[in-house]
């Protein structure tokens, strides 16, 4: 069993660099890839594993060992064809999670259709925020309210299913406050402490950022 998750970042523009750097600075194993040798040489000063390669080539994907990577982030929104090929090849290689950066809603639809598990708009989600979400394993989304406090969306853990909030006493155990429960597209802010949790639900909580590791 792997001790930590592994990541690959394709495309080392400002967004890709921000994602890769944040992951590396938090001790993650990251392969950073770009087709421009000059960019790769510059990035190698602060990214331990940088490769100059064409990620639209199936042989290159195989040679880089991408099939062994947990999450690939494709940051090539300025080249839709390359993004589509990279996403497709990564999914064919068996990568569990592929996240792609896009420039507009049309690109979003195309990238989702070819297999991307999540598509992000850089104007709505910074590279650092995406990296922080990835580092907060098990979280659907995380927004920092301050250095110490975050709003986090989390899936209901299997051991929580069939129990209510009183029984679980999550505030005492994890130090967070539940502010809403999402049930499909419905967000319920009037929380009944006797509400039995279901795997289909999502909890929206306010938590001390330093204590979020307890939830991993």
- Angle of CA points 127, 69, 215, to nearest 5°: 65
Name all domains of the chain by residue range, CATH numbers in brackets: 6-135 (3.40.50.720), 139-215 (3.30.70.1450)
Chunked mean pLDDT (size 10), the chain, 216 residues: 78 92 90 96 95 96 95 92 95 93 88 90 62 56 59 81 88 80 79 86 77 61
pLDDT of res. 131: 65
The pLDDT value recorded for residue 157 is 83
């Amino acid at each position: 069993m792997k001790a930590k998750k592994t990541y690959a970042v394709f495309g080392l523009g400002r967004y890709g660099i921000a994602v890769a750097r944040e992951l590396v600075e938090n001790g993650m194993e990251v392969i950073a890839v770009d087709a421009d040798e000059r960019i790769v040489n510059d990035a190698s000063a602060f990214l331990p594993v940088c490769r100059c390669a064409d990620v639209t080539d199936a042989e290159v994907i195989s040679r880089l060992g991408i099939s062994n990577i947990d999450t690939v982030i494709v940051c090539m929104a300025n080249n839709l064809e390359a993004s589509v090929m990279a996403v497709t090849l990564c999914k064919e290689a068996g990568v569990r999670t592929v996240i792609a950066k896009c420039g507009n809603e049309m690109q979003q639809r195309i990238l989702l259709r070819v297999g991307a598990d999540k598509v992000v708009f850089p104007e709505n989600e910074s590279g650092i925020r995406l990296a922080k979400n990835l580092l907060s394993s098990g979280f659907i989304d995380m927004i920092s309210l301050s250095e110490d406090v975050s709003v986090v969306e989390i899936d209901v853990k299997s051991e929580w299913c069939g129990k209510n909030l009183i029984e679980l006493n999550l505030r005492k155990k994890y130090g967070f406050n539940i502010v809403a429960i999402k049930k499909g597209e419905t967000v319920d802010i009037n929380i009944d402490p006797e509400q039995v949790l279901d795997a289909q639900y999502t909890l929206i909580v306010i938590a001390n950022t330093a204590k979020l590791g307890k939830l991993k």
